[in-house]
Amino acid sequence: MGREEVIETIKGFLSEEFEVERDLITPEANLKETLDLDSLDYVDLVVIIEENFGFKVTGEDFVGVESFNQFYDLVEKKLAAK
């Protein structure tokens, strides 16, 4: 799965699950602020990632992930290790 496909997949499920316009999901945008995430939303996000990509993520995986670009990097790294 290439980066563009990863990005499009992520945009699709994030915009649907968190009711955010796809246009707001840009590489530089802040993940937490754009999606208005609280701690329970992060749990939902983890479940969605596992369902869509088939790998496990933990809270530690999100340390330092602030932008969507960093989030895409995390997903790509996990996919490569799968």
Number of independent structural domains in the chain = 1
Task: Tell me which DSSP letter residue 63 carries.
Answer: T
H or E element that contains 32: helix 31-35
Question: Residue 1: what pLDDT?
Answer: 86
pTM above 0.95, yes or no: no
Q: Which domain holds residue 73?
A: 3-81
Q: What is the pLDDT of residues 4-46, one digit of tens each?
A: 999 999 999 999 999 999 999 999 999 999 999 998 998 999 9
CATH number assigned to the domain comprising residue 75:
1.10.1200.10
Rounded to 10 degrees, the C-alpha dihedral 27/61/56/14 comes to -30
Cβ contact 6:76 at 8 Å: yes
